[in-house]
Chains A and B, each alone.
Chain A
Amino acid sequence: MVFFDLEPKSTGPSKTEYDVIIVGAGPAGLGAAIYSGRAGLSTLVIEKNIEGGQILLTDVMENYPGYGLINSNELAQRFKEHADMFGTEFDYGEVVKVELAGEQKLVYLDNGKAYKSKVIIIATGASPRRLGVPGEDRFISKGVSYCAVCDGAFFTNKNVAVVGGGDSAVDEALYLSRIAAKVTIIHRRDKLRAVKSLQEKAFNNPKIDFIWDTIVKEIKGTDKVESLILQNLKTGEIKELPFDGVFIFIGLNPNSGIFKDIVDVDENGFIKTNEDMETNVDGIFAAGDVRVKSVRQVITAVADGAIAATIAARKYFE
């Protein structure tokens, strides 16, 4: 079980001004970096955690072409190395402010650094959405979690609930079923939205149970999570069931906070783009989960990045 993942923070950036700055080193950002570097543009990728983005929240990928089954860390690392191949530079920190100054964009990091570029590609991805029920905030790290690979080990042989019915929820339930004593998927509809292959694995897993047509009304406990108050949407019936933990995977919120005042977003904060990944602001693109789109997968994020960088190269550097 012990593994060693080397994601070295390569030599710091060589300069403070670039053709293209990409914010976020998930699939969209690294996809953009490959195309931007290959187009001969000087490219800086800024990442706050480690390369890979949401890839790292799952242990195995089975739907990225060319690999069959691949360990998620390995796929992330290959993306990074591929971007390195074309001379991409990296820096690490959280972008806290972006300013427009004519054709130039100024990007400020939480560690005090600042960079300039002509083009910005926003590839900041998305984060798990909160349920917004009583008890949720209070019990974070006391039984409430949004990351099975991070926190699964705290629920060894415990009884956990997974809220949601999409790919993430079912994938995480399958992961947790290897650790926990029992996993109960609580879903507000009468069938899962996850892809068929995941559904079949979940239905065939003896450790996974389902509660249909049901929402969580409240998370209860004294020092930590002890139970959930559930409501059946069809019958209206309310009941309380004991759980040691609850993993919430009901969808994504865009990581678009600092860009909201600069570019157009939809009512949920996802950044609006055209099919060339352009936002309403000249020289600012968005790619991947942070933008308005209907399919959020590694492969579609990578494609967004490729489109953004290609159009940027054509439009601003030819």
Chain B
Amino acid sequence: MAKVLNNKIVNDLKKIFSEELEKKVKLLLFKVDDESVCEYCNLTRDLLEELKEVDERVELEVYDFNTDKDVVEKYGIERVPAIVILDEDGKDYGVRFYGIPSGHEFSTLIDDIVTFSKGPVPSLSAETIEQLKKIDQKVKIQVFVTPTCPYCPRAVLTAHHFALVNENIVGEMIEANEFMDLSMKFGVSAVPHIVVNEEHSFVGALPEANYLNEVLKALK
């Protein structure tokens, strides 16, 4: 099996994980084996296997989207490849990746792993946290990205940190190229393109307060 990550990245990761990781972090991968159905499922599995090898605090469980129906249902997985990040105790905060976290989004995955290992504690202002805590209905924030988009990681991380605050909120990275049907459905042709509860959308990596306002618009 060819290595997915080059030596420099593996060495950099070793350093980051040894300095930053505290508690264990659990990654759940949902996949299918058939590459004609899911082009990047096996590559995503290889990637996560290599991450697991870097530091023993990164744990991995792999599930089959077709046969592990109860787990798929439990986490509400809609398509593959999908990654769910859980804290040490197996708690789900609604942080999701749909599609391979490659390109700049690889850094997003690493940032999330570090965040989960340290708590997870959301890196948000007190005002934002207060407003997010008040949300008493389900919110799904879908952040459409491409791996080459330098503005996208910030938009994904904001959604993920929002999700950490309130269990009603799910924050999803969606690799737009892999899920072209979904991109077409929401008319995505510039990223980051954020869709809230499948009805309200906005474009761009907005500052935290503006991002929050856009999310709240979908709830009114």
A residues whose Cβ falls under 8 Å from a Cβ of B: 2-11, 48-50, 52, 56-57, 59, 92-94, 96, 110-112, 140-147, 149-155, 223-224, 245
Contact = CB atoms under 8 A, between A and B. Distances in A.
B133 to A, nearest CB: 15
Given A7-B107, A50-B104, A150-B190, A111 B123 contact: yes
Contacts of A147: 149, 151, 190
6 contacts: A5-B107, A8-B16, A94-B207, A111-B128, A111-B208, A154-B190
Contact of B153 (A50, A142, A145, A152): A50
A141 B176 contact: no
A112 B212 CA distance: 14
Nearest to B16: A8
Contact of B9 (A6, A146, A223): A6
Contact of A4 (B103, B183, B203): B103
Contacts of B106: 4-6
Contact of B100 (A2, A50, A52, A96): A2
Contacts of B149: 147, 149-151
B150 A223 contact: no
B16 A110 contact: no
Nearest to A12: B123
B12 A6 contact: yes
B27 interface: no
Contact of B154 (A2, A4, A49, A57): A49
Given A3-B103, A93-B208, A150-B152, 19 more contacts: A2-B40, A6-B9, A6-B12, A8-B111, A49-B154, A92-B154, A94-B207, A96-B209, A111-B208, A112-B124, A140-B203, A142-B189, A143-B189, A149-B150, A150-B149, A150-B190, A151-B189, A153-B176, A154-B176
Given A6-B9, A9-B111, A94-B207, A49 B150 contact: yes
Nearest to B43: A2
A149 B148 contact: yes
A4 B150 contact: no
B169 interface: no
A6 B109 CA distance: 10
Interface residues of B, number: 50
B83 to A, nearest CB: 14
A57 to B, nearest CB: 7
A110 B208 contact: yes
B193 interface: yes
B187 interface: yes
A180 B5 CA distance: 30
Given A4-B103, A111-B123, A150-B152, A96 B207 contact: yes
B44 to A, nearest CB: 10
B125 interface: yes
Interface string B180-220: 00010001111101000000010101011100000000000
Contacts of A56: 104, 150
B73 interface: no
Contact of A8 (B102, B107, B147, B177): B107
Contacts of B128: 111-112
Contacts of B47: 4
A3 B102 contact: yes
Interface string B17-31: 001100000000000
Interface string B147-187: 11111111000000000000000000000110000010001
Given A2-B43, A112-B127, A153-B146, A245 B189 contact: yes
